[in-house]
Structure 1
Amino acid sequence: MVPRFCVQCGQMLHERLLPGDHRARRVCPACGYVAYENAKPCAGVLPTQDGQVLLARRAVEPYFGRWDIIGGFMEHDETPEEAALREANEETGLTLALDGLLGVYHDVYGSSGYSTLNVYYIARIVAGAPRPYDDVSELAWFPQDKLPTEMAFPHHIHQVLADWSRWIRRSANH
């Protein structure tokens, strides 16, 4: 969400097309500050064990009650890797090790209109037993041929799980 007032001087922002730009931006007429509408960074993990992935059932909106990949919004001082591991620990109680980057995906956060940039990692359990915490009501292991169909964030999550399935098949062949 783009602010209505300048974060530098407090003046009301006005929409205008900047030279060389292709879309209107909110600009401060007093100091020239430009309020860019950037995607919010998110990070998540796909804990993998014996060809299965651990998924979380959401206990909050958006997509209350649907299955989701473990993860969330990055803090301002975190790397994507740190955020993914923190979110996994907050939501599952697990200590994980990252085995690799699965991919980067764009989405919109529910009906808020917030654009998100989602970074996902393949991970393995280092310590702990999975238990639902934070904004999760249930955790369950799913094999690649029995993934739930009613997923949260359907714009990108089905592609993430398809990429995870390909990763599993490639790993089994090596």
Structure 2
Amino acid sequence: MTPAFSRRVPDGDTVARQVCDTCGFVAYDNPKIVVGAVVRCGSRVLMCRRDIEPARGRWTLPAGYLEHGETPPEGAAREALEEACATIRIGALLAVYTVRRLGQVQLIYRATLADARFAPGVESQAVALFEPDEIPHDEIAFPTVRWALAHERLDGGPFANPDDGEPPPP
């Protein structure tokens, strides 16, 4: 028997959700957590040309979805290894971005390359180090990559962007 769900406010909650009509199981639909890093090697920034959709062929920072059982810094380091075959040292949290339309919360860290080795991973066509003035800004994959690059150049503590749709001021 396939369970039937209806949208209603479960007991003890304030938000309408999908609830199983038979057993009361609540199917929560919560945001996904994305983790990544602005990785420096001296003055240069590590970037990956995507080999997957969305934005195939465009440049991004090593980033992706956090897996169950890992901390955000562990996830950011794993993503750098998967996308750029790079071992990185995670530093401070750089920014927290909310992308409402995609249901994402993005945690972006400052990081450095642990050594000079990197290569395209399975999701990347190419990986390169760019001086800040050489970054191909017209080929950037996502707005949050632009925001993170701008914030990484700032001094100070972590930046939190409470809204989506507008780039935060650098």
TM-score bracket, normalised by the shorter chain, equals: 0.7 to 0.9
Structure 2 residue runs of 5 or longer lacking an equivalent are 157-170
- SS of 2:133's partner is helix
Structure 1 vs Structure 2: percent identity of aligned residues?
A: 34
Residue 141 (structure 2) pairs with residue 129 (structure 1): no
Amino acid at match of 2:140: M
Deviation string, structure 1 residues 87-110 (Cα, Å, up to 9, x no partner): 1112222211112111121236xx
Structure 2: how far apart are the matches of 1:24 and 1:146?
A: 48
Equivalent residue runs for 1:72-151 within 5 Å: 72-107=64-99, 114-147=102-135, 148-151=137-140
Go from structure 1 to structure 2 and tell me whether the alpha carbon gap of 1:50 and 1:127 turns closer, same or farther (over 3 Å shift): closer
Q: How many angstroms apart in 2 are the aligned matches of 1:93 and 1:33?
A: 41
SS at match of 1:161: helix
Following superposition, the deviation at residue 66 of structure 1 comes to 0.8
Q: CA deviation at 1:167?
A: 4.1
Q: CA deviation at 1:128?
A: 4.4
Contact 2:38–2:148 under 8 Å retained in 1: no
| Structure-1 residue corresponding to 2:20 | 28
Of the three residues 45, 57, 60, the one matched with 1:68 is 60
**Aligned residue pair count:** 154
SS in structure 1 at match of 2:107: strand
**TM-score (normalizing by structure 1):** 0.77
